[in-house]
Amino acid sequence: MDLFDDTAMTDLDIEVTKYVNKNVKCIIRVLLDYLEDSNGFDSEDFLPYNNFRIDNDTWIKMVYDLYDIVRSDVLRDFIKPTYEYLLYVILQWWESFNDIFDNLIPYELDCDLIDKIRFAYELENKYNHVLYAVTNYEEYYYIFFADHDFLPDRLERLVTIYLRNPELFNQLFSDVDLIEYRDLMPKDLQMQFDKHNYNFSELRDKNASDPILLSDILFCCERLQAHHLYKEADENDMNDFIRDLLTALHYDLRDQTRQGTSAGGEDAGEVDILIRKNDLPYSIIEALKLSYIYESYISKHIDKIYKYDTLGNTCNFMVAYVKSKDFSLFWEKYLSYTKSYDYPFKLVKYTVPLSKQYSELKYAVAELKRNDIITKLYHVVIHIPN
What residue numbers bound the domain in which 347 lies?
253-383
For range 236-261, the mean pLDDT: 75
pLDDT tens-digit profile of 290-321?
A: 999 999 999 999 999 999 898 999 999 999 99
pTM score of the predicted model: 0.68
- pLDDT above 90 (res 15): yes
Q: Which among 84, 108, 143 is the end of a domain?
A: 143
- Region of poorest pLDDT, from 85-99, 262-276, 367-381: 262-276
Could you give the strand order of the β-sheet that contains 373-383, starting from the edge strand earlier in sequence?
A: 252-259, 269-277, 280-290, 315-322, 373-383, 361-370, 346-351
Look at residue 210 and tell me if it is in a domain: no
- Region of poorest pLDDT, from 247-256, 285-294, 342-351: 247-256
Domains identified in the chain, total number: 2
Helix (H, G, I), strand (E, B) or coil at 9: coil
Closest by CA position to 380, among listed 283, 309, 265? 283
Phi first, then psi, for residue 161 (nearest 5°) are -60, -45
For range 19-25, the mean pLDDT: 95
Q: In the prediction, which pLDDT does 288 show?
A: 93
Look at residue 317 and tell me if it is in a domain: yes
pLDDT tens-digit profile of 347-379?
A: 999 999 987 788 889 999 999 999 999 999 999
Q: Are 113 and 19 in contact (CB under 8 A)?
A: yes
- pLDDT above 70 (res 4): yes
Look at residue 197 and tell me if it is in a domain: no
**Alpha-carbon torsion angle 56, 42, 87, 381, nearest 10:** 100
Q: Which among 89, 123, 143 is the end of a domain?
A: 143
Q: Are 107 and 16 in contact (CB under 8 A)?
A: no
Biggest alpha carbon–alpha carbon distance for the chain: 76
- Region of poorest pLDDT, from 11-25, 175-189, 242-256: 242-256
For range 330-345, the mean pLDDT: 96
Euclidean distance between the first and final Cα of the chain, in Å? 17
pLDDT tens-digit profile of 177-203?
A: 898 898 898 888 887 887 664 343 333
Look at residue 71 and tell me if it is in a domain: yes
For range 33-60, the mean pLDDT: 78
Look at residue 234 and tell me if it is in a domain: no
Q: Which among 119, 143, 167 is the end of a domain?
A: 143
Look at residue 54 and tell me if it is in a domain: yes
Q: How far apart are CA 107 and CA 308, in angstroms?
A: 55
Q: In the prediction, which pLDDT does 251 show?
A: 85
pLDDT tens-digit profile of 217-240?
A: 999 998 888 877 777 888 888 988
Please state at what angle helix 295-308 crosses helix 327-339, rounded to 10 degrees: 50
Look at residue 187 and tell me if it is in a domain: no
Look at residue 70 and tell me if it is in a domain: yes
Please name the helix (run of DSSP H) or strand (run of DSSP E) that holds residue 248, with its range, or none: helix 235-248
Strand partners, 315: 376
